[in-house]
Amino acid sequence: MGNKLLLDQGSGGLASHRLVADVFFRHLGNSILERMDDAALIRPKGPLAVSTDSFTVDPIFFPGGDIGALAVHGTVNDVAMLGARPLYLTCGFILEEGFDMDDLERIVASMGLAARKAGVKVVAGDTKVVPRGAADKIFINTTGIGEVVAKTAPSGHRAKPGDAVIVSGSLGDHGLTVLSHRQGLSFEAPVQSDCASLNHLTLKLIKGLPSVHVLRDPTRGGLATTINEIAQQSGVGIALEEEAIPVKPVVASGCEILGLDPLYLANEGKIICVLPEKHAAKALTIMRRDPLGRDARVIGRVTQENPGKVVLRTGLGGHRLLGMLEGEQLPRIC
């Protein structure tokens, strides 16, 4: 195998088979995938959660992760937010001719590690190699399937007045990391993506609490956009306390320099949890026992006022409407 990807390796012929065996099976292989049938035979039980996402992040390697790990974490998290146990993934690769083979193997190995940590199997996949210039290095699509274990699946439509709004940790880490790495920027303290699979933590919440109304991961558009989506889906108002929202000092200062709002930056390892306020203390205890939720905080309440809108009480005691992200603040962030 050469050092650069060739068009032949996406032809479906012998070169493709060697690529699959030498790279993809080595890191993602399992008894279902290695049958090499046209489809995977799986036997999930009960209601299923299914989600798909495509990943085009630039740069493909960044502090705290890479496009491969991100492609696993992102789809695992989308499935988990429905109160499901993610079980299977499919992966589709669009690869540019000439892509570095060592980088490809590094990315696939990272996907394999992320999948094992999340407890999911990659059961089907596809690889296409396109001519130089027809794609930018590598794009990955992943589809996830999971069994819903929650008695009533959490949903953005289920927020109710009186609910508490909890976030599992600091915001904006991923977005600022990718942007600064892309632009070659550095700050006084290092910044690193929060890229992680959250399914083990969400299962603890589902099993440990009598009721969870909403679980969402605030990815593109950040906290502000995701909270607005919940308010509109449920037809409720949401009041947030700016001083309660965790943002690391390095992220806050970096955003100030670049003119960005951390509430709109993407996160790849955080949960928004909305549930009856009487269960909030227990939810915080569960989250803080897990490394991915150690900085969890209550950041606001669901209200009857201002249905469909989010009101932020600022650190100075004023109030302002917190709208959805308009336009594309940071392209190719995931």
Q: What is the mean pLDDT of residues 274-292?
A: 98
What pLDDT, in 10s, does the model give residues 92-143? 999 999 999 999 999 999 999 999 999 999 999 999 999 999 999 999 999 9
Cα separation, 247 vs 241, in Å, equals: 13
Tell me what the mean pLDDT of segment 164-177 comes to.
97
Q: Is the pTM of this model over 0.85?
A: yes
Q: In the prediction, which pLDDT does 12 show?
A: 87
Single-letter code of the amino acid located at 39: A
User: Residue 297's closest CA among 320, 270, 318?
Assistant: 270
- What confidence score (pLDDT) does residue 283 get? 98
Sheet holding 121-130, edge to edge: 48-55, 138-148, 84-96, 121-130
Say yes or no to pLDDT of 1 above 60: no
279 close to 205: Cβ distance less than 8 angstroms:
no
Which of 187, 198, 204 has its CA nearest to residue 286? 204
SS3 205: helix
What is the pLDDT at residue 135?
96
As a whole number of angstroms, the distance between CA 224 and CA 323 comes to 7
Assess whether pLDDT exceeds 70 at residue 2: no
User: In which element (H, E) is residue 148 found?
Assistant: strand 138-148
Condensed to tens digits (0 to 9), the pLDDT of residues 190-221 reads: 999 999 999 999 999 999 999 999 999 999 99
| Spatial separation of the C-alpha atoms in residues 285 and 114, rounded to whole Å | 26
Smallest Cα–Cα separation from 120: which of 143, 149, 103?
Answer: 143
pLDDT at 264 over 90: yes
